[in-house]
Amino acid sequence: MRTQVGIVGAGPAGLLLAEILHRHGVESVVLERQSRSHVLSRIRAGVLEPTTVDVLRENGLAARLDREGHVHDGVRIVWAGREGFLIDINRHCGKRFVAYGQTSLQEDLFAAADRRGAQIITEAADVQLLDRSIRFAHGGKARQLDCDFIAGCDGFHGVSRSCIPEKREYEKLYPFGWLGILSETPPLQEIAYCHSPRGFALASQRSPTLSRYYVQVPLDTRIEDWSDSRFWEELKARFPRDWAEAIVTGPSIEKSIAPLRSYVAEPMRHGRLFLAGDAAHIVPPTGAKGLNLAVSDVYYLSRALAEYYRSGSTALLDTYSETALHRVWASVRISWYLTTLLHRFPEASDFDQRAQQYELEYLLSSQHAQAALAEQYAGLPL
């Protein structure tokens, strides 16, 4: 088999890259080790930055998003005894977010790929990356895909990152995780981060009839110990009373626990191999940056590859890692800041807790601080 760009991973990063490259006349083949049904079954976040929405619209991928996505001005931070405040990116930045589940976006990307007859090989096993080829097994047979470039979009546990020698890795592990449920209930009117002595909680949205909620839990938490009733009771105990009373409860249709970590690998390129998305970086979900960073990586990489095939210039390819990492570290920083601001850390001293409380009070009292936070939360322009 022969193509111009071999893409490892059929998640949002891999399929979006293939779609944009196609629009620039660049051929690609996507390899995915899981089945399509498995990829579509993964439940992920769904808060899209304005720049992400722009990229999707520019590439003809936003028709369903524009119909079903829930537009909102920002995210509200609340805590007991205070009115809280809105991280108001519409007011301070003139932009708005859209709540649209990653599963829905994944469906849109597969549908777009099917319409153009894209080459997507699922259940590709034993993937090995070489300089100008990818070896893999499919249907019990050894296969090889020859290509000019390889895009590693295969996530944190994929093979691509391990193929970059002498990389520098930055990592921070947090001493807690998020227990989340998805329920067919109307969400709250606003996405809300809640700081509580009992631990962090989050009320998010997927659609007018689909809600996503999270509570901070210890790392050794077991899902089987958390019934739906226990989850709802704990969630409401963390939110201020007026917020808790507005939460509509119901049976969960999905329940999972995710540990939190910050991770960055540098550089994001080695020779003809380029990393994008979770293959290169992981952020805690507090800042809702993971999917948005994957989209910005793909934007920069697709632009660089398109320029190479258009003019032969390697200038954008040569600066891809530096360009992408500038935005990555901005997102890593704000995600880390919100995580440390809003969560209850097991070993926190009285001093730590008082300083955390004062930081919240300062944000509540200062329009300048809120504007700075909104600018960072909105994400850098592409």
Residues with catalytic roles: 72, 193, 285, 289, 377
Identity of the amino acid at 277: G
Identity of the amino acid at 309: Y
User: Two tokens at 45?
Assistant: 């976040």
- Each residue of 163-194: b (16+ CB within 10 Å) or e? bbeebeeeeeebebbbbbbbbeebbbebbbbb
Cα 187-180-98 angle, rounded to 5 deg: 45
User: Two tokens at 9?
Assistant: 């991973």
Helix (H, G, I), strand (E, B) or coil at 13: helix
Phi-psi region of 60 (alpha: psi -120 to 50; beta: other; left: phi over 0): left
Distance CA 199, CA 218 (A): 10
Q: Report whether 263 contacts 156 (CB < 8 A).
A: yes
Residue 93 phi/psi, 5° resolution? Answer: -125, -5
Q: Kindly give the residue spans of alpha helices, DSSP state H, lying in the chain.
A: 12-23, 36-41, 50-58, 63-68, 89-93, 102-115, 228-238, 241-246, 290-311, 315-318, 320-342, 350-365, 367-378
- C-alpha to C-alpha distances, 85 to 192, 207, 370, nearest whole angstrom: 10, 23, 8
Torsion of CA 196, 198, 200, 204, to 10 degrees: -90
The candidate with the shortest Cα–Cα distance to 287, out of 328, 234, 326, 346, is 328
